[in-house]
Structure 1
């Protein structure tokens, strides 16, 4: 496999814009472990091998268990996620697949039982950010390196 182009060097302004989004999420108060789950789940849906590899490694470094990482694509059937994590993962799937059914009101209401309006918007921005990273990585031909 070969990278199509190095987008960071080709368009540094675009790369800096993405880093600003990432920086906003990291300083927003959003739980870092939850953000990694969002990143992994969206990357699984989008088929971004580069991001799946990166974020599963990051999650491990943060102390995430192998079992929770391995079962993330089947989170509905696994008892290892909190109620908040479950609704955020469901929201991640809905936003990532927004063209299929949008974000149903019922899902919004369930998420809001766990987060206030500010955190809701932060979570939406987190989901949008990883979806953007996925699209950049896939479009430019990025692939994971063997560890």
Structure 2
């Protein structure tokens, strides 16, 4: 494989530009576990191994069950996700897998029933952020498996 720019060296300045988004999200009313679940799902869609490892570890520490993590790829068929989680996951998928100029009305309406205007904006920002991290990791590679829970919390 071709030698890539290392995100843990030259890429740190670029990664740091995303940290204010993380700070904003940490102070939002979106539940930390819900946001991590969304980040895990988006990382599944994008195939980002580093982020999958990271968010799986974080979610397990938060008390997430193995069953819910294993079945997340088929959340629409599984009975153990709340309506709020379902709305967030559908919203995240619609923003990650772009199929048209607008998120479908039924997905938007379901999200608006579960999230305040400010929360939906924060959730959208969270989806944008994880898509950015995924793309950086996929473009340049990452040390998959090296993440330690809490490693990036000070950022």
TM-score, normalised with respect to structure 1: 0.91
Query: Which whole-Å deviations, capped at 9, do the CAs of 1:123-142 have from their partners, x for residues lacking one?
Result: 00010010001001101111
- Deviation (angstroms), 1:2: 8.2
Go from structure 1 to structure 2 and tell me whether the alpha carbon gap of 1:58 and 1:83 turns closer, same or farther (over 3 Å shift): same
- Deviation (angstroms), 1:95: 0.2
Structure 1 unmatched ranges of 5 or more:
none
Aligned-partner SS, 2:9: helix
Go from structure 1 to structure 2 and tell me whether the alpha carbon gap of 1:12 and 1:57 turns closer, same or farther (over 3 Å shift): closer
CA RMSD in angstroms comes to 1.9
2:29 & 2:104 partners in 1: Cα distance?
Answer: 26
TM-score, normalised with respect to structure 2: 0.87
Aligned-partner SS, 1:113: helix
Count of aligned pairs between the two proteins: 146
- Deviation (angstroms), 1:38: 0.5
* Cα pair 1:2 1:141 within 8 Å, conserved: no
The residue number in structure 2 matching 1:83 is 83
1:42 & 1:115 partners in 2: Cα distance?
Answer: 19
